[in-house]
C-alpha cells in the first residue's frame, strides 16, 4: 500500500505539472507511448517490445534534452521555500497594483518604454544580469522616475515582488524563438525570453507604438485597457499564492478527481510491474551444481550429486522471463574443510528473476570432498607418433620449459612422475623446427598459477649418411 501511495503522489505531482507546462503535449505523447508499451507487455507483443527496448536509450536522452528547462526548474523549486507555499490565509493589499497599472498607461501614452517583471514560483536569479538593489515600496512616483528617459536604469527591467521594487536596471535573457521578420523590439524580445524560461509575468510598454503587453509562458498578448491590465495582474498574483476562499474540506473535494486518478494510475502501474498476474504454477528443472571460491590450498572433487532438481513457483507470465539454461546452484566453498562433508542447499544458492520463488530442491544436500594439496615441479616429456622419414638419421626433441609445477593432492604425490605433451608426428618432420604442443594434465591435478598450458617443442635432426 505504501508503495502505491508513493507512486500516486508522484503521478499527482506530474498531473499538476502537465496542467501548467508548455510542453504538456509532448509529455502527453510520451504518456501515450508508455501506455502502448504497457499494453504490449501485458499482451506479450514480442516485436513491439523489441522495438521499444532498442529505442529506450535514445528516447530517454531525447526526453532529457526536450525537458531540460522543465527539469532544471523542478529541481530549483524543490529548494525554493516560496514554491512550496501554495496558499495564504489573508489577502494582502493590492493598492500597489493600481500604481503599476496607472504608471504603465501613462508611459504608454507618452511612448516611454518600460519593462516590469513579476516573479512567479520559479527562482529568477540565474536568468537576471546586472541591476541595482533598491527594495523600495511600489509607488507611482517611483516607477515614473525609474523609467524616465534621463534615468540611468530606464532601459533595464524592474523586478516587482509583493509590492516592493527589489531591483531596477536589470538585463533579461533574449528570446531564441522569434523569427527575424517579427515586429518586436529589444524589450519585447527580453520579455518573451524570460517568460520562456520561468513562470514570471512580464509587463512591457512599447516606446514605438505606445502599447502595453504582457508576456507569460512564451506568449506575448496586447492589453488594451487599464481595467484588463489590473485584472490580469491580480489574477496572476492570486494564482501564484491563492487566498483561502473556501474551507479545507471543500478544497480537498475539488482536488479529489485528480487524486483518485493518481491512485488508479499508480495501481495500474503496480499491477503491470509487480502485481498478481494470474494463478501461480510450479515447474521443475534439472540444474547443475557449481562450487565457487574454494581455497587455493584445496582441491575439490565433483560434488555428489553434480546436479539437482529445482522446483520453482511463478505465474505463466513470470516463467516467460526465465531462461532455464542460465540456472545454476552456486555453492560458496570458501569455508570448506579437508575431507568429506555435506552441504545443505537453499534459496541463497540460487539466483532467480523477480516474481519467481523457490519451492523445493531435491536432493537438498550434496556431498563435497576436499583434498589438501601440495605444489611440486614435474618434468615435461614430449610424446611422439609415426615414423621418422629415411632422410633423417635421428631426431632429438626437447621442451621449453623442461618442467612445470603441478598442484596435486598430498595423497597422490607418488602417483605422478612427469607431465606429457600432445604427440609430435615424426613423419611430418622436414628439418629443424619449433612447434607448440598442449600439455596433458593428469586427472586430479592442475597447473600452478602462472604455469603455461602449452610448451615449445624444439626439434633437432641429424641427416642420414
Q: Which of 372, 406, 439 is the last residue of a domain?
A: 372
Q: Are residues 45 and 105 in the same domain?
A: no
Q: Is the pLDDT of residue 93 over 80?
A: no
User: Do 333 and 293 meet the contact criterion of CB atoms below 8 Å apart?
Assistant: yes
> 278: Cβ–Cβ under 8 A, 6 or more apart, which residues?
315, 316, 317
Q: Are residues 234 and 268 in the same domain?
A: no
Q: Are residues 142 and 236 in the same domain?
A: yes
Cis peptide leading into 401, omega within 30 of 0?
yes
Look up the CATH number of the domain holding residue 135: 3.40.1700.10
Q: Are residues 228 and 320 in the same domain?
A: no
pLDDT at 83: 47
Q: Is the pLDDT of residue 282 over 80?
A: yes
pLDDT band at 31 (very low <50, low <70, confident <90, very high): confident
List pLDDT tens digits, range 454-463. Answer: 999 999 999 8
Q: Are residues 402 and 349 in the same domain?
A: no
Q: Tell me what the mean pLDDT of segment 311-332 comes to.
A: 88
Cα 13 from Cα 94, distance rounded (Å):
30
Instruction: Please state whether the predicted TM-score (pTM) of the whole model is above 0.75.
Output: no
Q: Which of 185, 218, 240 is the last residue of a domain?
A: 240
List pLDDT tens digits, range 406-457. Answer: 999 998 888 888 999 999 999 998 889 999 999 999 988 999 999 999 999 9
Q: Which of 349, 372, 395 is the last residue of a domain?
A: 372
Q: Are residues 173 and 104 in the same domain?
A: yes
* Within-domain flag for 89: no
pLDDT at 413: 84
List pLDDT tens digits, range 34-43. Answer: 778 777 777 7
| Adjacency order of strands within the sheet including 164-171 | 129-137, 164-171, 157-161, 114-118, 201-205, 212-216, 219-223
User: Do 345 and 362 meet the contact criterion of CB atoms below 8 Å apart?
Assistant: no
pLDDT at 456: 95
> 34: Cβ–Cβ under 8 A, 6 or more apart, which residues?
none
Q: What is the 3-state secondary structure (H, E, C) of the chain?
A: CHHHHHHHHHHHHHHHHHHHCCCHHHHHHHHHHHHHHHHHHHHCCHHHHHHHHHHHHHHHHHHHHHCHHHHHHHHHHHCCHHHHCCCECCCCCCHHHHHHHHHHHHHHHCCCCEEEEECCCCCCHHHCEEEEEEEEECCHHHHHHHCCCCCCCCCCEEEEECCEEEEEEEECCCCCCCCCCCCCCHHHHHHHHHHHHCCCEEEEECCCCCCEEEEECCEEEEECCHHHHHHHHHHHHHHHCCECCCCHHHHHHHCHHHHHHHHHHHHHHHHHHCCCCCCCEEEEEEEEEEEECCCCCEEECCCECCEEEEEEEECHHHHCCCCHHHCCEEEECCCCCCEEEEEECCHHHECCCCCCEEEEEECCEEEEEEEEEEEEEEEEECCEECCCCCCEEEEEEEEECCEEEEEEEHHHCCCCCCEEECCEEHHHCCCCEEEEEEEECCCCEEECCCCCCEEEEEEEEEECC
Q: Domain range for residue 50?
A: 2-84+247-273
* Within-domain flag for 377: no
Q: Are residues 169 and 227 in the same domain?
A: yes
Q: Tell me what the mean pLDDT of segment 358-367 comes to.
A: 94
List pLDDT tens digits, range 224-269. Answer: 898 898 998 888 888 776 554 445 556 566 666 777 777 777 777 6
Q: Tell me what the mean pLDDT of segment 127-133 comes to.
A: 85
Residue 190, number of CB atoms within 10 A of its CB: 24
Cis peptide leading into 35, omega within 30 of 0?
no
pLDDT at 88: 45
User: Do 339 and 304 meet the contact criterion of CB atoms below 8 Å apart?
Assistant: no
* Within-domain flag for 304: yes
* Within-domain flag for 90: no
* Within-domain flag for 451: yes
* Within-domain flag for 213: yes
Q: Are residues 78 and 22 in the same domain?
A: yes
List pLDDT tens digits, range 386-408. Answer: 998 888 888 999 999 999 999 99
* Within-domain flag for 397: yes
Q: Are residues 207 and 256 in the same domain?
A: no
Domain count, the chain: 4
Q: Are residues 66 and 112 in the same domain?
A: no
Look up the CATH number of the domain holding residue 312: 2.170.120.30
* Within-domain flag for 12: yes
Q: Are residues 24 and 76 in the same domain?
A: yes
List pLDDT tens digits, range 331-360. Answer: 999 999 999 999 999 999 999 888 889 999
Q: Are residues 355 and 329 in the same domain?
A: yes
The strand pairing partners of 397, in sequence order, are 459
Amino acid at each position: 500500500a505504501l508503495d502505491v501511495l508513493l507512486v500516486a503522489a508522484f503521478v499527482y505531482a506530474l498531473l499538476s505539472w502537465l496542467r501548467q507546462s508548455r510542453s504538456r503535449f509532448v509529455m502527453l505523447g510520451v504518456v501515450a507511448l508508455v501506455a502502448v508499451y504497457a499494453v504490449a507487455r501485458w499482451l506479450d507483443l514480442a516485436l513491439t517490445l523489441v522495438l521499444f527496448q532498442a529505442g529506450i536509450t535514445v528516447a530517454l536522452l531525447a526526453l532529457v534534452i526536450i525537458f531540460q528547462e522543465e527539469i532544471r526548474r523542478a529541481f530549483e523549486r524543490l529548494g525554493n521555500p516560496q514554491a512550496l507555499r501554495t496558499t495564504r490565509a489573508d489577502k494582502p493589499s493590492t493598492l500597489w497594483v493600481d500604481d503599476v497599472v496607472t504608471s504603465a498607461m501613462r508611459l504608454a501614452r507618452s511612448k516611454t518604454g518600460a519593462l516590469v517583471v513579476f516573479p512567479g514560483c520559479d527562482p529568477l536569479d540565474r536568468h537576471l544580469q546586472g541591476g541595482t538593489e533598491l527594495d523600495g515600496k511600489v509607488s507611482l512616483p517611483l516607477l515614473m522616475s525609474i523609467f524616465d528617459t534621463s534615468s540611468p536604469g530606464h532601459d533595464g527591467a524592474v523586478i516587482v515582488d509583493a509590492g516592493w521594487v527589489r531591483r531596477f536596471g536589470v538585463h533579461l535573457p533574449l528570446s531564441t524563438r522569434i523569427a527575424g521578420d517579427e515586429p518586436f523590439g529589444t524589450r519585447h524580445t527580453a520579455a518573451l525570453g524570460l517568460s520562456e524560461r520561468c513562470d514570471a509575468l512580464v509587463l512591457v510598454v512599447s516606446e514605438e507604438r505606445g502599447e502595453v503587453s504582457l508576456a507569460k509562458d512564451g506568449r506575448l498578448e496586447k492589453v488594451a485597457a487599464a481595467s484588463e491590465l489590473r485584472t490580469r495582474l491580480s489574477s496572476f498574483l492570486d494564482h501564484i499564492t491563492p487566498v483561502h476562499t473556501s474551507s479545507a474540506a471543500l478544497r480537498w473535494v475539488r482536488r479529489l478527481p485528480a487524486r483518485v486518478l493518481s491512485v488508479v494510475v499508480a495501481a495500474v502501474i503496480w499491477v503491470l510491474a509487480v502485481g498478481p498476474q494470474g494463478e501461480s504454477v510450479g515447474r521443475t528443472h534439472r540444474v547443475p551444481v557449481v562450487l565457487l571460491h574454494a581455497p587455493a590450498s584445496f582441491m575439490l572433487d565433483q560434488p555428489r550429486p553434480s546436479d539437482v532438481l529445482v522446483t520453482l513457483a511463478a505465474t505463466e507470465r513470470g516463467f516467460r522471463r526465465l531462461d532455464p539454461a542460465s540456472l545454476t546452484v552456486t555453492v560458496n566453498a570458501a569455508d570448506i574443510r579437508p575431507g568429506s562433508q555435506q552441504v545443505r542447499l537453499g534459496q541463497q544458492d540460487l539466483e532467480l528473476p523477480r516474481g519467481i520463488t523457490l519451492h523445493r530442491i531435491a536432493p537438498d544436500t550434496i556431498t563435497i570432498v576436499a583434498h589438501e594439496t601440495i605444489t611440486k615441479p614435474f618434468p615435461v616429456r614430449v610424446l611422439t607418433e609415426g615414423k621418422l622419414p629415411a632422410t633423417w638419421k635421428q631426431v632429438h626433441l626437447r621442451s621449453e620449459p623442461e618442467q612445470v609445477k603441478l598442484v596435486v593432492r598430498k595423497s597422490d604425490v607418488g602417483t605422478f612422475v612427469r607431465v606429457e605433451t600432445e604427440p609430435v608426428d615424426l613423419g611430418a618432420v622436414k628439418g629443424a623446427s619449433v612447434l607448440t604442443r598442449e600439455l596433458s594434465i593428469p586427472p586430479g591435478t592442475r597447473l600452478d598459477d602462472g604455469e603455461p598450458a602449452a610448451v615449445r617443442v624444439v626439434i633437432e635432426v641429424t641427416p642420414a649418411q
